[in-house]
Amino acid sequence: MKTKYCKPVIILMTLTLLMVALCCSDNYLEEEPKTIFTTAYFEKPQGIEDAVYAAYAFMRYIYTPNASTALFHEGTDEWTYGEQPRNNSSGDNLQHKECGEYSLTSGNAAIPQIWNNSLPAINLCNGIIEFAPNTEGINENRKLELLGEAHFLRALYYFNLVTQYGGVPLDLGSGDLKLNTTPFFGFNRDNPAELLIKNYQAMIDDLIFASENLPTMKNPDNHRLTKAAALHMLAKVYVMRHYTPAAQSTDVQNAYDAAMKLIENQEMYGVALQQNFADIFKQGNEYNTEILYAVERIPGDNTNNMQTDPSGIGGLENHCSSNFTPNYQQPIGGLTLIDGRPLQYNRPLRKIAPTKWLTMTCFADKDNDSRYHATFRTLFRTASVNTPGTQAYDDYIQLLHDNGLEYGDTAWYLPDTQEEANAIFARGVKYFVVGPDNWYTNQDLTYMMHPALTKNNDSLRVAFNDAPGRPYPVCRLGETYLLAAEAAMLLNNNDKAAELINVIKRRAAYTPGATEQQVNERYAIIAVSAGDINLDFILDERSRELAGEWVRWSDLAVRGKLYERAIKYNPDVTGLIGETTGKYYIRPLPQSQIDAINDPDREKYQNPGY
């Protein structure tokens, strides 16, 4: 090669070698995505916070969409399926009916609601717990709080899974309580009984961690988790475990201790009972001291509430009140007294209705126990969804006048007793009166009307068919007293149990405007003594305090009282007759879960009987 051309050649080859060197450096083939996030995001301060936000947000799938209404309430002593599932048993109505009468199968569309939404949330919590310790640039206290939240939420997700489906895997593919990093086609549920033991221990460990690391003082403006909620849940999980084959001898004492720690240190935790029971649920008072933890939403903000289709009845819309609302729009003798669906009365979805036992037996005393009227709406006034000045509104006013009524007059009244109803009938009124004998049950279809659950009504929705958007209380101090009382009872300390229950009773006797004497008189009538205390009483009292609060089905199922009480008090549970054991005391696993398992013998993972 002549020297003249050596230079360019040398340059070329040097360049090439440089490029080779550049290309071969390790990171040439590394990916650095800019618009997608990987779990590496959780190692950043904002990332780990965002992960915790999502862990909270997923609770919205558990607490209060349509399908979970069925899983938490249908087929209990308190609740049966409503007019819609009765008359139109397809789509989501079928879910309600199958749960309500116990004909459900693994294909029931409500079944996946808790399963499908809890497991990814648990995996997320596992991830937070794994990543948070490595997160840099965040102070250690904050880290512990975040970890406390992740532990609490993981325990609560597990709690609902276990109480509904029995033992569930702690190992999602990468080991117990570990973030799953492998596409795992198996299902670590060979022995649900053993799993159940591990499940409860995991929940208890998580909640102990949470009760030690969450912030102490409850924030008056929100429902971020604090120690109070963790103690409450810890007491609850101990109580529940006591009734299961996983029970440990120390459970009752531990439950009592956890609950009492909270009850006795209320001030330190920034919590207290509301004076007036009705105030717990009053709109505008969402952040009251009694609520230890609520799944939050904001009224009227469908985007924040993740209600992409706010009038939908799918997986995410909150139907804590509309599902329980009877058809106040129905015409009687061709006359409809309420015009449309005024915001204050909810959207009448009619999926679920109270049993006669709940309204008439459990709440037999509607005068001295304020909780009946604080729980149910029995009076609907004439109202219109239309605005004054519109033709539709004027037509409605005209209609009222034609029937001798004014805007705001009574439209529907559901008296406390049949006698009262009869008396009103005898007197003759222009509004509709439905006495307890004719309240809707599947046994009586005269009026399709029943007292409407009002806890958590939201009258600040954007449109009348929108799902509500209020924080939904999951842990509240009222229940802590009941858990403490139950633990005391199980410790054979009925005196203490009665004492604790009477705190709740005294509060129930209170109504605003009542004199102290009146309250004392009422209290004297409803107060209990040690001799009254037994498990059935505790369950009755839980109904009075917690009716419609997303607890009842598992309350009964775990305590082994479902068969007895549902058969006794709910004539619609026909499928349960004779099924004293097995099948219906835990739910089937969703068929989609079973189908996806890579094991030819996959049916063995299903709960027995399904």
Partner 1 sequence: MRIYNYYYASYRRKKTKPTLIKVMKLALLLSMVTMLNISAMVTSHDKKLSILVDNVQLRNLFLEIENNSEYVFFFNTQDAQLDEKVSFSTRDEGIESILKALLLKTPLDYIMLEGNFVVIKSKAEMQQNVITGKVVDSEGRPLLGVNIIEKGTTNGTTTNENGDYSISVSSRDAVLVFSYIGYLSEEMQVGAQMIIDVSLIEDIELLQEIIVVGYGTMKKSDVTGAIVSVNEKSLNEVPSANLQLALQGKAAGLEIQRIGTAPGSDAHIRVRGDRSITGSNNPLFILDGIPFEGGSLNDIDQNAISSVEVLKDASATAIYGSRGANGVVLITTKRGKSGESSISYNSYYGIVKVARPYKMFDAEGYAAMRDAGTGSWGYMEQELESMKTGRSTNWQNLMYEDGYVTDHNLMALGGTEMTQFNIGGGYFKETSILPGQDFTRYSLRANVNTKVGKRINIGLNTLNSVNVANGIQFINEQPNTSGFSNTPFGGSIMFPILTLSPLMPAYDSDGNILIRPGGNSEDRENQYNPLLLKENTNEWVDRTRRLRTFNTLYAEVDLINGLKYKLNLGLDYRQQEFNQYQGRDSYFRTRDQSARARVNNGDGWGYTIENLLTYQNVFADKHNINVTALFSAQEDHVHNTLVGKEGITADFIEFYDLNQSDPEATLTLSGNESSWAILSYMLRINYNFNDRYLITLTGRADGSSRLAQKWHYYPAVSLGWNIHNEGFMKNLEILSIFKLRAGYGETSNQSVDPYSTLGGVSNYIGATAVRYNYGEQRVSGYYINKIPDRSLDWEYTRTVNAGLDFGLLKNRISGTVEFYYAKTRNILYNVTLPISSGISGQFLSNVGEMENKGFEFTISSVNIRSGSFTWSTDLNLFLNRNKILKLYRDIERDVQNQLHVGHPFNSIFDYEKIGIWQLNELDSAQAYRQLPGQLKIKDQNNDHRIIYGEDRKVIGSGEAKIQGGITNRFTYKGFDLSAVIYARFGGTLVSYLHQPTRGYVTIMDGRRNGLEVDYWTPENPTNWFTLPQEANDFKITPPNAATSWQTLGYYDASFVKVRSINFGYTVPQKYISKIRINALRIYFTAQNPFLLYAPYVTKWNGVDPEPTGTGTIGGVGQPDNLRISGNNPALVIGPSTPPTRSFLIGLNITL
List 90, 134, 140, 183, residue binding partner 1 (CB under 8 A) = 183
Contacts of 242-245 spanning 24+ positions with Cβ under 8 A: 242/490, 243/558, 243/559, 243/560, 244/196, 244/200, 244/558, 245/193, 245/196, 245/197
Residues paired with 339 in a beta bridge:
384
Cβ neighbours of residue 460 under 8 Å, at least 6 residues apart? 283, 299, 300, 343, 469
Nearer to partner 1, 297 or 450 (CB): 297
The whole-angstrom distance between residue 101's C-alpha and the CA centroid of its chain comes to 21
**Which helix H or strand E contains 374, and what residues bound it?**
helix 371-375
Per CB under 8 A, 319 contacts partner 1 = no
Written as six digits, the tokens of 153 are 């939420």
Nearest distance from C-beta of residue 337 to partner 1, angstroms: 31
List 139, 387, 443, 598, residue binding partner 1 (CB under 8 A) = 598
List 79, 152, 159, 187, residue binding partner 1 (CB under 8 A) = 187
DSSP string, 170-184: SBSSSSBT----S--
* 58 to 77: interface string for partner 1, x by CB under 8 A: x-x-----------------
List 14, 105, 191, 304, residue binding partner 1 (CB under 8 A) = 304
Per CB under 8 A, 52 contacts partner 1 = yes
Nearest distance from C-beta of residue 599 to partner 1, angstroms: 10
List 71, 177, 179, 195, residue binding partner 1 (CB under 8 A) = 179
Stretch of residues binding partner 1 (CB under 8 A), selected from 24-32, 200-208, 447-455, 549-557: 24-32
Number of CB atoms found within 10 A of residue 222's CB: 11
Nearer to partner 1, 179 or 528 (CB): 179
In whole angstroms, give the CA distance from residue 421 to residue 417: 6
Three-class SS of 511-527? CCCCCHHHHHHHHHHHC
Nearer to partner 1, 183 or 334 (CB): 183
Nearest distance from C-beta of residue 230 to partner 1, angstroms: 17
Stretch of residues binding partner 1 (CB under 8 A), selected from 50-58, 333-341, 534-542, 553-561: 50-58
Per CB under 8 A, 57 contacts partner 1 = yes
Stretch of residues binding partner 1 (CB under 8 A), selected from 138-146, 175-183, 356-364, 578-586: 175-183
List 136, 139, 140, 221, residue binding partner 1 (CB under 8 A) = 221
Nearest distance from C-beta of residue 502 to partner 1, angstroms: 33
Nearer to partner 1, 57 or 144 (CB): 57
Written as six digits, the tokens of 175 are 């080991």
In whole angstroms, give the CA distance from residue 188 to residue 180: 13
Nearest C-alpha neighbor of 163 from the set 566, 557, 451: 557
List 303, 387, 515, 517, residue binding partner 1 (CB under 8 A) = 303
Nearest distance from C-beta of residue 269 to partner 1, angstroms: 17
Per CB under 8 A, 38 contacts partner 1 = yes
Scan residues 93-152 and list those touching partner 1 (CB under 8 A).
112, 115-116, 119-124, 126-127
Nearer to partner 1, 122 or 490 (CB): 122
Per CB under 8 A, 16 contacts partner 1 = yes
List 596, 604, 608, 609, residue binding partner 1 (CB under 8 A) = 596
List 45, 142, 144, 180, residue binding partner 1 (CB under 8 A) = 180
Stretch of residues binding partner 1 (CB under 8 A), selected from 55-63, 235-243, 272-280, 566-574: 55-63
In whole angstroms, give the CA distance from residue 448 to residue 434: 10
List 224, 282, 366, 583, residue binding partner 1 (CB under 8 A) = 224
Residue 283 near residue 46 (C-beta atoms within 8 A): no
Cβ burial of 224 (10 Å; 0-12, 13-18, 19+) is middle
List 33, 137, 334, 388, residue binding partner 1 (CB under 8 A) = 33
Torsion over CA of 284, 276, 408 and 466, rounded to 10 degrees?
40
Written as six digits, the tokens of 558 are 């775990």
Torsion over CA of 308, 314, 317 and 320, rounded to 10 degrees?
170
Per CB under 8 A, 300 contacts partner 1 = no
Stretch of residues binding partner 1 (CB under 8 A), selected from 221-229, 237-245, 488-496, 562-570: 221-229
In whole angstroms, give the CA distance from residue 528 to residue 507: 13
Nearest distance from C-beta of residue 325 to partner 1, angstroms: 25
In whole angstroms, give the CA distance from residue 49 to residue 132: 9
Nearer to partner 1, 54 or 272 (CB): 54
Torsion over CA of 93, 96, 102 and 108, rounded to 10 degrees?
70
Written as six digits, the tokens of 356 are 């006669």
**Alpha carbon separation from 289 to 294, 468, 469, 491, 523 (Å, rounded):** 12, 22, 20, 29, 23
Q: Please tell me whether residue 597 adopts helix, strand or coil conformation.
A: coil
